[in-house]
Amino acid sequence: MEVHNTMVQAAAVFPTYRNTTPIQRAEFLEKIGVEIEALGPDLIQTAMRESNLPEARLLGERGRTVNQLKLFANLLREGSWVEAVIDSAQPERTPPRPDLRKMLVPMGPVVVFGASNFPFAFSTAGGDTASALAAGCPVVIKGHPGHPDTSAMVFGAMQKAAQACNLPTHVVQHIAGSDFALGQALVEHPETKGVAFTGSLHGGMALVEYARNRKVPIPVFAEMGSLNPVVLMPEKLEQEAESLAKQLAASATLGMGQFCTKPGIVLGVDGEAMDHFIRTWAGEVPSIGVAPMLHAGIHKNYTVGLEKALAQPGLGLLGQTAAEVSGIQPKAALALVDAETFMQNPTLHEEVFGPYALIIKCKDAAELGQVLQALEGQLTLTLMATEADLQKNPALVQSATEIAGRVIVNGVPTGVEVVASMTHGGPFPATTDSRFTSVGSDAIKRWARPVSYQNFPQSILPEALQDGNPLDIWRTVDGVFSK
Amino acid sequence: MEVHNTMVQAAAVFPTYRNTTPIQRAEFLEKIGVEIEALGPDLIQTAMRESNLPEARLLGERGRTVNQLKLFANLLREGSWVEAVIDSAQPERTPPRPDLRKMLVPMGPVVVFGASNFPFAFSTAGGDTASALAAGCPVVIKGHPGHPDTSAMVFGAMQKAAQACNLPTHVVQHIAGSDFALGQALVEHPETKGVAFTGSLHGGMALVEYARNRKVPIPVFAEMGSLNPVVLMPEKLEQEAESLAKQLAASATLGMGQFCTKPGIVLGVDGEAMDHFIRTWAGEVPSIGVAPMLHAGIHKNYTVGLEKALAQPGLGLLGQTAAEVSGIQPKAALALVDAETFMQNPTLHEEVFGPYALIIKCKDAAELGQVLQALEGQLTLTLMATEADLQKNPALVQSATEIAGRVIVNGVPTGVEVVASMTHGGPFPATTDSRFTSVGSDAIKRWARPVSYQNFPQSILPEALQDGNPLDIWRTVDGVFSK
């Protein structure tokens, strides 16, 4: 009943909210950022208590979240994201060509399932919410049970912002609870028009299944994690085996490995440099510091997943955290496997969310290429390479772009910039639809659909499509891009 | 086995084809058009024999098909469709911001299921094929069994064009056959990355089901028809009841009603003008000329669908073709129902593909609004309205844009312009994904996904993302749209 009332309210405010001006929505998003900051140290303390994340990290993440809201506010102020296209009438043609104009319009109420690993940036007022609100869609947030108080506080800030901006109360709503049926009811409700999710393959696919079985199926954008392969190319490995090992050891255990873009597998060709790389990384592992994971559920999944991985035949453990761990602290781990064993065992292709990485030793470059071909879709793929390495291996560079949504040269995949050029997405099972991203300004496109207006009088057309271009946006008019 | 070999070949040419230049692909598309025209009267005669469509219509459709290929060729020559975005590195920032660049890349082999009602424009070398080839995806065409010889001839023209352009033979392939299992095998093959379909709800949803049950689900863009509601607004109806009736009588039976955008239901408020409208249209029906339908299957579906519709309680037949019909000639029909009966009977919401329309008489404007709310997603919605009608009813105009992909003022929905501003799409069940269109230049976006390139050396970046902008395309560079 709570779900039904909530979704009906969301649908009821849609006609009002979709008709707000871009500036009104921009001001709303900015105001949400202001209200979140106004929660001050209380919010940070609450999030620390609920997520076990350190203060500095949460301060940074709060900043990132506010900037993300500003990114979408700027996108709205600039205005061209609606992709306005105008093709003028040609009354003299046989048959006469009508006046035809097109722009993106919001889809309707969106349900957002927050992630636990970013209690601000990928949760209540995170990128999914910000992009849907920017598009003109009312949002219903399913608060993550891992940080209920944090979520409630952030939602409170959003309510204040809505009030300050004279927007209807129900433009954002929040439902708390850890009951699985709650999520199902939200996805299945007829007034729900789209769903955003960040989390596990299992969780994401459950939502997809609910969405598919509706009378009217709806799009679910689920970001479901990734192995984020790192490829050590020969010249680079030869030159920098040691520093690469140290860099990856740090990236794989940063924040206890609780990032969707944690490097989970590392590929290299057998040889002296590779052995040096392996020894160096193995030497780093025992001394890696420990901290509690986000919550007991994640710690349990990590422990079970790691145990399962390490029990696979042919897998060798290279090192583990030496310190005693207690409570929900994880032991970081590094393992080694040969390429053939990896390719034959699907269990080794499953993400282990936490501070664990697997090194895959290949006999030669051809076998390394085969491993890449055998991989499923990924959020990121990293090439540790000299320019000559890349120039000599165009097929490998190309296959990297076919596997992943983001290909990185000489960097770690952790760290996802919130910019227009970001793709946080990728082929299945990294996400449910490789044509979209959940980070960066294009995340808004998940929640908008094109509508063509044929022979509309000027007075009835949306401003974005009127002759005078009152919004001063970039448009394609009779094939010419102009402002 | 044929399916397996075909899809493996398609996958094998993908690395070559995706690396062709935009100009090469533009020349290929143009050459396909030239080769289709070179088939001359033979092609038209073959299509006439197989589809029962008249010569003039097929000549027009051939022109439209060639123009459609040119539209995508022009899109490629212009080049900005890849949506290139560049955000420069900020090495001085803490942490340093990497160089990040993004563009659209092709998804991989696409399977196209041609439609029978447009043997050229929505079939073998139609919009689905043209848009996928433009994106850089190899295409496998499942020839429609309604026009096998036409399809084979057009495919021959495509092969000639591929050869003339020095492209690999398997960049386009063709599989003939009416076996249902063939379509299933094509959608289920692991090398298939996307599917295009135009046809019935039943057929489209079968393909969707196959695609969902794959280990790796893939997007199916299925255009599955529509009722294309027409709303008669009061002032307009008052002024032009008679001419509206004649215009709609012609549109609903044009080409024996065999268009996805045929006006299938017409809504108006009870009164003298409405009665005049109904009488006039009813008077037109008996004298409507007859012609054979596309094929026996469509004729049978029409006969069965019409019988089922007319048997629904509360439905009144207003008129039918007076002439004797024979073979696969249909009887055009017009029926009347009151709004309440319509809203309560889901059978009346099903498309009857052929020369049939249903007039829905509403008690008042409020009830008319309720009917709109009760409708499923539509390709088009037409408002017959004076400017004052529209100005007085903003909520109705808005709900029209929520129901349909294209909203038309004072025109008939038949006639789908192939331009950038076209949306041939709409909410489910009109299509499987309201965020895309199958007609117009944006149809290419169904087959492309964004990839971000992080910290790539200039020499390895695709041309579209290189500093010097060698392709001279519009790009977003550090937030500024420029060329």
Q: Which residues of B touch A415 (CB under 8 A)?
A: 95, 98
Closest Cβ–Cβ partner in A102, A435, A448 for B421: A102
Q: Which residue of B has its CA nearest to A86?
A: B421
Backbone angles phi, psi at B355, to 5 degrees: -80, 60
Q: What is the mean pLDDT of residues A367-378?
A: 97
Q: Write the ipTM.
A: 0.97
B460–A390 C-beta distance less than 8 A: yes
Q: Which residue of B has its CA nearest to A446?
A: B435
Closest Cβ–Cβ partner in A427, A450, A460 for B442: A450
Which of A169, A173, A216, A168 is CA-nearest to residue A194? A216
Question: Cα(B283)–Cα(B271) distance, rounded to whole angstroms?
Answer: 18
Q: Is B72:B446 a contact under the CB 8 Å cutoff? A: no
Q: B463 an active-site residue?
A: no
B390–A457 C-beta distance less than 8 A: yes
Q: Which residues of A touch B451 (CB under 8 A)?
A: 401, 404-407, 423
Q: Print burial letters for A228-245: b (CB count within 10 Å at least 16), e (below 16).
A: bbbbbbbebbbebbeebb
- Cα-to-chain-centroid distance, residue A272: 38
Residue B232 β-bridge partners: B384
Which of A379, A378, A376 is CA-nearest to residue A422? A379
Closest Cβ–Cβ partner in A217, A218, A417 for B97: A417
* d(CA A7, nearest CA chain B) in Å: 16
Q: Is B439:B422 a contact under the CB 8 Å cutoff? A: yes
B451–A404 C-beta distance less than 8 A: yes
Q: Is A147:A90 a contact under the CB 8 Å cutoff? A: no
A445–B420 C-beta distance less than 8 A: no
B457–A449 C-beta distance less than 8 A: no
Q: Which residues of B touch A204 (CB under 8 A)?
A: none
Hunting for tokens 């209540």 — which residue is that?
Answer: A124
Q: Is the link from the previous residue into B95 a cis peptide, with omega within 30 of 0?
A: yes
Identify the band that residue A94 occupies on the pLDDT scale cut at 50, 70 and 90. Answer: confident
* d(CA A475, nearest CA chain B) in Å: 11
The sign of the dihedral angle between the CA atoms of A365, A370, A374, A378 is positive
Which of A240, A252, A251 is CA-nearest to residue A277? A240
A422–B459 C-beta distance less than 8 A: no
A420–B479 C-beta distance less than 8 A: yes
Q: Which residues of A touch B454 (CB under 8 A)?
A: 406-409, 411
Which of A416, A414, A473 is CA-nearest to residue A67? A416
Which of A232, A190, A182 is CA-nearest to residue A211? A190
A423–B219 C-beta distance less than 8 A: no
Question: Cα(A439)–Cα(A424) distance, rounded to whole angstroms?
Answer: 5
B19–A456 C-beta distance less than 8 A: no
Is residue A95 pLDDT above 90, yes or no? no
Q: Please list the pLDDT of chain B residue by residue as tens digits (483 residues).
A: 799 999 999 999 999 999 999 999 999 999 999 999 999 999 999 999 999 999 999 999 999 999 999 999 999 999 999 999 999 999 999 889 999 999 999 999 999 999 999 999 999 999 999 999 999 999 999 999 999 999 999 999 999 999 999 999 999 999 998 888 999 999 999 999 999 999 999 999 999 999 999 999 999 999 999 999 999 999 999 999 999 999 999 999 999 999 999 999 999 999 999 999 999 999 999 999 999 999 999 999 999 999 999 999 999 999 999 999 999 999 999 999 999 999 999 999 999 999 999 999 999 999 999 999 999 999 999 999 999 999 999 999 999 999 999 999 999 999 899 999 999 999 999 999 999 999 999 999 999 999 999 999 999 999 999 999 999 999 999 999 998
The DSSP string of A120-189 is: TTTSTTSHHHHHHHHHT--EEEE--TTSHHHHHHHHHHHHHHHHHTT--GGGEEEE----HHHHHHHHH-
Mutation target for A interface from B451, B459, B465, B482: give the one with most A CBs within 10 A. B451
Using DSSP's 3-state secondary structure scheme, residue B465 falls into helix
Query: pLDDT by residue (tens digit) across A166-196?
Result: 999 999 999 998 888 999 999 999 999 999 9
B377–A216 C-beta distance less than 8 A: yes
What is the enclosing helix (H) or strand (E) of B8?
A: helix B2-18
Q: Which residue of B has its CA nearest to A462?
A: B398
Mutation target for B interface from A414, A442, A451, A473: give the one with most B CBs within 10 A. A451
What interhelical angle do B127-135 and B22-38 show, nearest 10? 150
Mutation target for A interface from B454, B461, B474, B480: give the one with most A CBs within 10 A. B454
Q: Which residues of B touch A439 (CB under 8 A)?
A: none
Q: Which residue of A has its CA nearest to B479?
A: A420
pLDDT of residue B177: 85
Predicted TM-score of the model (pTM)? 0.97
B452–A422 C-beta distance less than 8 A: yes
Within B203-312, strands assigned E span: 220-223, 230-232, 265-269
Q: Which residues of B touch A391 (CB under 8 A)?
A: 459-460
Instruction: Give me the total of CB pairs closer than 8 Å, taking one residue from chain A and one from chain B.
Output: 195
pLDDT of residue A178: 81
Using DSSP's 3-state secondary structure scheme, residue A386 falls into coil
Q: Which residues of B touch A376 (CB under 8 A)?
A: 216
pLDDT of residue B91: 94
Show the tokens assigned to B81: 């469709």
Closest Cβ–Cβ partner in A74, A376, A419 for B100: A419
pLDDT of residue A36: 98
Q: Is B211:B187 a contact under the CB 8 Å cutoff? A: yes
Which of A151, A130, A121 is CA-nearest to residue A73? A130
* d(CA A317, nearest CA chain B) in Å: 30
Hunting for tokens 């398609």 — which residue is that?
Answer: B10
Q: Is B225:B405 a contact under the CB 8 Å cutoff? A: no
Is residue A103 pLDDT above 90, yes or no? yes
Closest Cβ–Cβ partner in A377, A421, A428 for B102: A421
Burial class (CB in 10 A: 0-12, 13-18, 19+), B482: exposed
Which amino acids of A are annotated catalytic? 223, 260
B395–A421 C-beta distance less than 8 A: no
Query: pLDDT by residue (tens digit) across A149-170?
Result: 999 999 999 999 999 999 999 9
Which of A363, A359, A270 is CA-nearest to residue A309? A359
B435–A449 C-beta distance less than 8 A: yes
Closest Cβ–Cβ partner in B411, B419, B452 for A87: B419
Q: Which residues of B touch A402 (CB under 8 A)?
A: 108
Q: Is A359:A268 a contact under the CB 8 Å cutoff? A: yes
Which of A417, A419, A426 is CA-nearest to residue A441? A419
Query: Considering B30, B188, B191, B260, which one is annotated as catalytic?
Result: B260
A453–B87 C-beta distance less than 8 A: no
Question: Cα(B124)–Cα(B150) distance, rounded to whole angstroms?
Answer: 9
Q: Which residues of B touch A397 (CB under 8 A)?
A: 460
Is residue A1 pLDDT above 80, yes or no? no
Q: Which residue of A has its CA nearest to B412?
A: A454
B420–A85 C-beta distance less than 8 A: yes
Question: Cα(A138)–Cα(A89) distance, rounded to whole angstroms?
Answer: 35
